[in-house]
Chain A
Amino acid sequence: MTRLTQLAIALAAASVTTFAMAADPIKIGVNGPFTGGSSSMGVSMRDGVRLAAKEINDAGGVLGRKIELVERDDEAKNERGVQIAQELINKEKVVAVVGYINTGVALASQRFFQEAKIPVMNNVATGTVITEQFAKEPENYVFRNSAKDSIQAPMIVEEAITRRGFKKVAILADSTNYGQLGREDLEKALAAKGIKAVAVEKFNIKDVDMTAQLLKAKEAGAEAVLTYGIGPELAQIANGMTKLGWKVPMVGSWTLSMANYIDNAGPGGEGARMPQTFIQEPTTPKRQSFIVNYLKTFNPKNSRIDSPVSAAQGYDSVYLLAAAIKQAGSTDGPKIKSALEDLKTPIEGVVTNYNKPFSKADHDAITANIPVFGEVKGQRVVYAYPDDQKKASEVRVKK
């Protein structure tokens, strides 16, 4: 061994010990797709998480310790998610994890955290089963602060059938877990209104042609298309409609607000409506400061957050977790979990104000009354109904 390497090792060892002497940071895993078709959600979520972590650290951290984020890109692939889960648990020894954009990845990965008794805060993934995966076990470590599909699907149906009076609707959903679970929820919600979709079609990620699906919907006489998919393919649906010269309203899950849908569909994508937990409008002081800080720190194109919902939920998820760690007075998984189930202090968030957001039996922070309808207008997502915007300053809280 040369002198130089000996020196380097000695230095490295010294630096490790100095770190250990200062208060150890609290490690929180951040897991999401930062590349690929879901990345506008993943990156916005991560930026929201970073913003919250920075604010908390600047204010002195939690329990006198700094929050350290361990960010990992799961590429929206189930198998990557599983590898990352094991790495976060065994190597990084995280205290908790926030993230998961894709329902499939969440379902595949969170069982490892469940076994390791480490809380998971799903802040974007919406598959209804996510928080129910371990509901039967005595301890459930999976929480969520996004609007689950069983909330969104009835909202979509309510909007299309009741508010706008369409009688015949077609469902277009992608072939992933997200799309197919969402389709089931949509069919259930339609059945509750005594309606059956006139066409139920499937498409694959990266499909470039939607002619067959759209023609089937058109031939069946659909007056509106209900969608469950992600940005790029949703844009291909809108583009396909322009091509066929058949334009009916699109109403779908919250992903219709993704920047890559809005940009790629262009004028053809205008008018699409979707449930949103957050719309980039400064309707409360908290939301205003969040938007200002986000734009200042990350400087997104055209001052438009790529996925405002993901950013806001990502931001709130860290505050929820920090509050639980503070209340538990410990970074012990089971104690954080118990604290989350019984949060004593209300938290002012961007999406809503959280007052006892979780209980032992209910691990979903968002209820059906919280989301509003957004609409793509002028290449941004705005409130679909002026009434909602007027009342937006009255924060909708969990019922």
Chain B
Amino acid sequence: MQILTQLIYSGIALGMIYAVIAFGYQLTFATSDTLNFGQGDALMLGALVGLSLVGAGLNYWLMIPLVCLFGAFQGAVVERIGVRPAIKIKSEFGWIMSTIALGIIFKNVAENVWGRDDLKFPSPLPESPIKLLGANVLPMEILVVAGAILMMLAVEFFNRKTIYGKAVVATFNDRDAAKLMGINTGLVITFSYALSSMTAAFAGVLIAPLTLTGATMGAVLGLKAFAVAIIGGLTSGMGIIVGGIILGIAETTTGFYISTGYKDVPGLVLLLIVLAVRPAGLFGKTAIKKV
């Protein structure tokens, strides 16, 4: 029993790491039907900028708002350079290549600025584990879970209750109609990219003390987060959390009960099943596309 509890704890912690990254995919999809495939790299940049600020003597908690600002700026740049031209000419796939390309550029810049090695991110909380119901958790893992839930609530609140959120939803539902109603859809899309990279940067500093920090940290994490976003549904904050937990627990339990060589398989099989049965994701709204 203790083993299972430990596996579930670690699975949840791992899943939440994926979930905080996955939010970024959702935010841009919600306005422009596009995804920032450089999400993992936005995460990496956030973590490295955070590391530099902490290294310069700044307190961890004070550093977070600065990193968020940096992330927002970085996201706006991605949208202006990579996504807007593609949307303008109604290119179906241009943004895929341009966001990937920008991601690679960011990675190379990071390699030159911060070096190529994995670095240690000093943990703001004690690094000794806490006993909880017979199994161990790290204080930092609890912080990540709290951060993920906070982000989910913030996103849901923003979309449902605020006028800006309604503009975002309207832009998603029908970009042209929203434009006719006086919503500056271009600005909304830029804003969503800024928000998306901001969450990624925030996620970066949140998870960096648990994972390692380095120019290559984004690649695998970004991909796993993408799987979470698909499983949970690209339109649901709740879905991201649940998707993350499912993928995380699937990884740790398969690793223990079946084989560590196959631990990534069940999550990805689930991804395939979800795509076949419910393409909008477990919690996604099924969009009916009228042509």
- Give residues in A with beta carbon < 8 Å to B: 34-37, 39-40, 43, 175, 201-204, 206, 208-209, 211-213, 215-216, 219, 231-232, 235-236, 242-245, 259-260, 263-264, 266, 306
Spot the interface stretch: B60-68, B249-257, B274-282: B249-257
Q: Which of B6, B216, B264 contacts A37 (CB 8 A)?
A: B216
User: What separation, in Å, do the CA atoms of A201 and B262 have in the docked complex?
Assistant: 11
User: Could you list 16 examples of A-B contacts with CB < 8 Å?
Assistant: A35-B111, A35-B116, A39-B116, A43-B116, A202-B260, A206-B219, A209-B10, A211-B252, A211-B256, A212-B7, A231-B118, A260-B118, A260-B212, A264-B120, A264-B212, A266-B127
Cα(A213)–Cα(B262), bound, Å: 12
Check if B212 sits within 8 Å of A212, measured CB to CB. no
Q: How large is the interface on B (under 10, 10 to 19, 20 to 34, 35 or more residues)?
A: 35 or more
A216 touching B260 by the CB < 8 A rule?
yes
- Given contacts A37-B216, A209-B252, are A264 and B221 in contact (CB under 8 A)? no
| Nearest chain A CB to B244 CB, angstrom units | 13
Q: Tell me the smallest distance from the CB of A29 to a CB of chain B, in Å.
A: 20
**Chain A residues with CB under 8 A of B120:** 263-264, 266
Q: Does B159 contact A (CB under 8 A)?
A: no
Give the secondary structure class of A's interface: helix
User: B220: nearest residue on chain A (CB-CB)?
Assistant: A206
B261 at the interface (CB under 8 A from A): yes
CB-based nearest A residue for B118: A232
Asked whether B263 is an interface residue with its Cβ less than 8 Å from the other chain, the reply is yes
User: Once the chains bind, are A215 and B117 in contact (CB under 8 Å)?
Assistant: no
Cα distance, A353 to B261, chains bound together (Å): 42
**Of B14, B117, B215, the contact of A209 (CB 8 Å cutoff):** B14
What per-residue 1/0 map shows which CB atoms of B210-224 lie under 8 Å from chain A? 111011110111000
Chain B residue at minimum C-beta to C-beta distance from A199: B260
Q: Judge whether B118 and A37 touch: CB under 8 Å.
A: yes
In the complex the two chains form, is A211's CB within 8 Å of B212's CB?
no
Q: Distance (Å) between the CB of B253 and the closest chain A CB?
A: 8
B6, A245: Cβ atoms closer than 8 Å:
no
A39 and B117 contacting across the interface, CB-CB below 8 Å = yes
B1-41 contact mask (Cβ, 8 Å, vs A): 1 or 0? 00100110010011001000000000000000000000000
Residues of B near A201 (CB, < 8 A) are 260
Q: List CB contacts (< 8 Å) of B180-222 with chain A.
A: 210-212, 214-217, 219-221
Contact B216 A215 (CB under 8 A): no
Q: Are B255 and A213 in contact (CB under 8 A)?
A: yes
Verify A244–B6 contact, CB threshold 8 A: yes
Nearest chain A CB to B36's CB is how many angstroms away?
20
Q: Which 6 A-B pairs have the closest CB atoms?
A: A212-B255, A211-B10, A35-B116, A212-B256, A206-B220, A208-B211
The docked-state distance in angstroms from the alpha carbon of A264 to that of B217 is: 14
Q: List A contacts of B10 (CB < 8 A).
A: 209, 211-212
The residues of B that contact A34 with a CB separation of less than 8 Å are: 116
Q: Which residues of A contact B138 (CB under 8 A)?
A: 243
* B-side contacts of A175, CB under 8 Å: 261
Minimum distance in angstroms from B245 CB to a CB of chain A: 14
| Given A39-B117, A212-B252, A243:B136 Cβ within 8 A | yes
Beyond A208-B17, A235-B118, A242-B127, list 9 extra A-B contacts (CB 8 Å): A35-B111, A43-B116, A206-B219, A208-B212, A209-B13, A209-B252, A243-B136, A259-B117, A263-B120
Cα A348 to Cα B220 in complex, Å, equals: 45
Task: Give min CB distance, A238 to chain B, whole Å.
Answer: 12
A187 CB to closest chain B CB (Å) equals 15
Contact with A along B262-291 (1 / 0, CB 8 A): 011000000000000000000000000000
The minimal Cβ–Cβ distance linking A243 to chain B, given in whole angstroms, is 5
- Cβ–Cβ < 8 Å partners of B252 in chain A: 209, 211-212
Q: Are B260 and A212 in contact (CB under 8 A)?
A: yes
Report whether A212 and B263 are in contact in the complex, using a CB–CB cutoff of 8 Å: yes
Assembly CA distance A244 to B136 (angstroms):
6
What CA separation (Å) do A43 and B115 show in the bound complex?
Answer: 11
Contacts of B7 in A (CB 8 A): 211-212, 215
Once the chains bind, are B256 and A216 in contact (CB under 8 Å)? yes
- Measured CB to CB, the nearest residue on chain B to A261 is B118
The yes or no answer to B53 lying at the interface (CB within 8 A) is no
Of chain B, the residue at the smallest CB distance from A232 is B118
Inter-chain contact B117/A40, CB cutoff 8 Å? yes
With a CB–CB cut-off of 8 A, which chain A residues contact B6? 211, 215, 244
Complex CA gap A144/B185 in Å reads: 62
CB contacts (< 8 Å) of B124 on chain A: these are none
Task: Check B3–A245 contact: CB distance below 8 A.
Answer: no
Which residues of chain B come closer than 8 Å to A245, judged between CB atoms?
129, 136
Instruction: Point out the residues of chain A lying under 8 angstroms from B129, CB to CB.
Output: 242-245
| Residues in A whose Cβ lies below 8 Å from that of B217 | 206
